């Protein structure tokens, strides 16, 4: 009986050590891309694997369902819909089930964006007479207004640490990328360019922001440092490239382009984060698609050599203890 108890204790200790030293992978939806498309006659929310396989319609509703956004843990998707006669923010499970409306104001809302900790959703609304950026809790309560500007503010995007929000401000028919603190303070123009700059998305490490722009005469995907410096064209293609979305590990960027056979319709492409190796992942045109890659979680750390050495030392000590107990048990028996 003593040996069995000792063996159980050793096994349990080893398992607990392995769990603490070797973390488990994140949610199963990481690596999937959500987007909207009217391929079935009206705009619906779809999900697709990053290799182009397993495309599925999640909403299947006669209304207009657009602008999907993953929750940080990959279990839910927020989106914009007019299914209740005015635009509003809705949320559903990642498989399309359990759809719930979050906004109740007749002015509606759009462009939802989840906070990294999963507790808030940023969105735009003109409920106070002008498109501004707001936040709310994930159940639709505690609505807070962040921007107070006569210009149009839209397309909020949280930084990975939740401390800042990038957004687009339209002034005199031009759009620039701004960034502010998560409480609305400290608003700074990052791009400050006479051409249109829109659709900001943070890299998972928070060091860069990708966006699309008209500054080269046609839509291209650019990337800048989080302080607005080091602006670089990633796509450099004569046709339109729009709506960038970072992969969870920051190594790739998805976007849409009409460069392949279609003048109006777009296909989803993926490229390396430096702009190299641009390749399409689907052959079904997706007009107006706005892809978003699940999900911006902190990368899983590799086991450190120190952690592996600690595990080996503990196993040796526990094994020696088990041998001592077994030896004493045999002596007692004789």
Q: What is the pTM of this model?
A: 0.79
What pLDDT, on a 0 to 100 scale, did the predictor assign at position 312?
59
What pLDDT, on a 0 to 100 scale, did the predictor assign at position 318?
59
DSSP state at residue 110: E
Under 8 Å between Cβ of 44 and 61: yes
DSSP state at residue 16: H
SS3 9: helix
Classify domain 24-300 at the CATH topology level: Neuraminidase (2.120.10)
* C-alpha distances out from residue 83 to 47, 179, 315, Å: 20, 32, 59
Counting beta carbons within 10 angstroms of the beta carbon of residue 45, is it exposed (0 to 12), middle (13 to 18) or buried (19 or more)? buried
Counting beta carbons within 10 angstroms of the beta carbon of residue 59, is it exposed (0 to 12), middle (13 to 18) or buried (19 or more)? buried
In order along its 334 residues, the chain shows pLDDT tens digits of: 544 444 444 443 443 343 344 444 445 566 789 999 887 788 999 999 988 888 899 999 999 999 999 999 999 999 999 998 888 999 999 999 999 999 988 888 999 999 999 999 999 999 888 999 999 999 999 999 999 999 999 999 999 999 999 999 999 989 999 999 999 999 999 999 999 999 999 999 999 999 999 999 999 999 999 999 999 999 999 989 999 999 999 999 999 998 876 566 788 899 999 999 999 887 666 555 678 888 644 433 444 444 445 555 555 665 666 566 556 555 555 5
What token pair was written down for 69? 């956004």
Q: What is the CA radius of gyration of the chain?
A: 25
What pLDDT, on a 0 to 100 scale, did the predictor assign at position 295?
66
How far is Cα 15 from Cα 5, in angstroms, rounded to an integer? 15
DSSP state at residue 129: S
């Amino acid at each position: 009986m003593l040996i069995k108890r000792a063996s159980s204790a050793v096994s349990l200790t080893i398992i607990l050590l392995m769990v603490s030293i070797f973390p488990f992978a994140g949610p199963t939806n990481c690596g999937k891309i959500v987007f909207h498309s009217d391929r079935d006659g009206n705009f619906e929310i779809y999900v697709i694997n990053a290799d182009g396989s397993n495309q599925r319609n999640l909403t299947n509703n006669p209304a207009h369902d657009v602008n999907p956004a993953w929750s940080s843990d990959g279990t839910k998707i927020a989106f914009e819909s007019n299914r209740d006669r005015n635009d509003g923010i809705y949320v559903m499970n990642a498989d399309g089930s359990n759809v719930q409306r979050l906004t109740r104001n007749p002015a509606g809302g759009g462009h939802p964006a989840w906070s990294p900790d999963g507790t808030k959703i940023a969105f735009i609304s003109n409920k106070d007479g002008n498109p501004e950026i707001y936040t709310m809790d994930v159940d639709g309560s505690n609505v807070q207004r962040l921007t107070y500007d006569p210009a149009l503010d839209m397309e909020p995007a949280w930084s990975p640490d939740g401390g800042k929000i990038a957004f687009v401000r339209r002034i005199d028919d031009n759009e620039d990328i701004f960034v502010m603190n998560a409480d609305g303070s400290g608003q700074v123009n990052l791009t400050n360019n006479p051409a249109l700059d829109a659709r900001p998305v943070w890299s998972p490490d928070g060091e860069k922001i990708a966006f699309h722009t008209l500054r080269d005469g046609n839509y291209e995907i650019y990337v800048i440092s989080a302080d607005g410096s080091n602006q670089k064209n990633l796509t450099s293609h004569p046709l339109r490239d729009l709506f960038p979305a970072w992969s969870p590990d920051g190594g790739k960027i998805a976007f849409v382009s009409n460069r392949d056979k279609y003048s109006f319709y777009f296909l989803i492409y993926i490229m390396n984060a430096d702009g190299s190796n641009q390749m399409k992942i689907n052959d079904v045109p997706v007009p107006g698609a706005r892809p978003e890659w699940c999900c911006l979680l902190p990368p899983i750390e590799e086991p450190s050599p120190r952690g592996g050495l600690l595990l080996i030392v503990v196993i040796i000590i526990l094994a020696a203890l088990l041998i001592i107990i077994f030896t004493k048990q045999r002596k007692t028996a004789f």
